[in-house]
């Protein structure tokens, strides 16, 4: 097993210690698995909390900071965090204006965040929750009932985070997070399987010369397997799958996301093909983000996420953000 680790059992804790050393602007509780912006709770501000299994970095801990999340709860690799982590995070960021939980649609995450919301309410913390379910590849999958939550999580966290930073009340922050999710669709492609530290071998069998269309971020199966395709062919397939469902009549934000092991050289080349398809389909692109943001350990592959935006959503997207994984305007 060729991994830059000590032992599988300490991978998450070791990574959190490294995050703490690299980012003094964050408070990292390694034992309780909570990452919080150091100035939390911020007065007169709704707190944003998200989380999920580790292995998708920089999601979610890398998106903690001004203009985005106030706290994140990392679980074990591909495993939901537990309610105690979420309640601890909510208490750390609650300024009295309430807390928004941003939850990707995976069964463990949904159950645990729902339980945490009830426990937090018992402690006097007002909580609202928004479910992210943007993946158009499949309706039900190994980890979910309904669509999976993938790349749109970044759009929800960034835009809702910007509105919260302006001092908006909980109901407005929740509403805009829902609107972003409803305006977003994603589709992913795997060129290789990922390897979890605990297993030490690929999570599924993908023969040489084949790819999986519609893969999930935990290696869940997609729509179909095909012989290897060119970047141009993959872009045609992925973008058309998104547009079949989204059908935008306004400009979009485009996220061309790497799954963890795809070089930027390839991602930028793929982005050129994505932009070509969007242009051919008459879709105007307002902003584009290219890079590894919602990953699956060492999986080679990519995903495309589109979010239809109006002037308000675009303004909030452009608003300053200062996190380890996303930073501009400050």
Look up 23 and say whether it is catalytic.
Answer: no
As a whole number of angstroms, the distance between CA 14 and CA 111 comes to: 27
As a whole number of angstroms, the distance between CA 69 and CA 62 comes to: 9
Does residue 118 contact residue 90 with C-beta atoms inside 8 Å?
no
Pairing of strands 327-328, 224-227: unpaired
Which one from 97, 104, 158, 218 is the annotated catalytic residue? Answer: 218
Task: Supply the DSSP string of 132-171, one letter for each residue.
Answer: E--B-S-SSBTTBSSSPP-THHHHHHHHHHHHHHTT--HH
What residue ranges in the chain does DSSP mark as E strands? Answer: 26-29, 34-37, 47-54, 71-77, 99-104, 127-132, 184-190, 210-213, 224-227, 252-258, 285-291, 301-308, 321-322, 327-328
| C-alpha distances out from residue 187 to 108, 273, 306, Å | 22, 15, 9
Look up 56 and say whether it is catalytic.
Answer: yes
Which one from 37, 45, 56, 179 is the annotated catalytic residue? Answer: 56
Token couple for 128:
């609202």
Token couple for 31:
């034992």
As a whole number of angstroms, the distance between CA 109 and CA 80 comes to: 5
Which residues are annotated as catalytic? 56, 218
């Amino acid at each position: 097993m060729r991994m830059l680790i000590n032992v599988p059992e300490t991978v998450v804790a070791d990574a959190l210690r490294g995050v703490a050393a690299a980012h003094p602007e964050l408070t990292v509780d390694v034992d309780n698995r909570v990452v919080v912006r150091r100035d939390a709770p911020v007065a007169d501000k709704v707190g944003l909390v998200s989380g999920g299994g580790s292995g998708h970095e920089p999601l979610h801990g890398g998106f903690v900071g001004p203009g985005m999340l106030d706290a994140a709860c990392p679980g074990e690799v591909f495993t939901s965090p537990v309610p105690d982590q979420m309640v601890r995070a909510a208490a750390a960021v609650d300024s009295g204006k309430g807390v928004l939980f941003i939850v990707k649609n995976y069964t463990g995450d949904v159950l645990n965040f729902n339980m945490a919301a009830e426990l937090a309410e018992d402690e006097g913390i007002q909580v609202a929750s928004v479910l992210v379910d943007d993946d158009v590849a499949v309706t039900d999958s190994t980890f979910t009932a309904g669509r999976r939550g993938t790349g749109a999580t970044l759009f929800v966290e960034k835009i809702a985070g910007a509105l919260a930073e302006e001092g908006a009340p909980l109901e407005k922050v929740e509403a805009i997070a829902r609107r972003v999710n409803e305006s977003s669709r994603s589709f992913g492609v795997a060129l290789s399987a990922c390897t979890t530290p605990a297993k030490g071998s690929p999570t599924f069998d993908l023969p040489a010369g084949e790819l999986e269309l519609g893969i999930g971020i935990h290696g869940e199966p997609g729509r179909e397997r095909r012989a290897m395709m060119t970047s141009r062919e993959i872009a045609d397939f992925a973008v058309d799958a998104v547009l079949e469902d989204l059908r935008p009549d306004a400009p979009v934000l485009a996220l061309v996301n790497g799954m963890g092991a795809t070089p930027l050289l390839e991602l930028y080349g793929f982005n050129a093909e994505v932009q070509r398809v969007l242009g051919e389909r008459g879709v105007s692109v307002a902003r584009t983000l290219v890079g590894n943001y919602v990953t699956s350990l060492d999986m080679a592959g990519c995903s495309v996420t589109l979010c239809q935006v109006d002037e308000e959503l675009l303004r909030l997207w452009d608003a300053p953000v200062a996190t380890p994984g996303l930073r501009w305007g400050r």
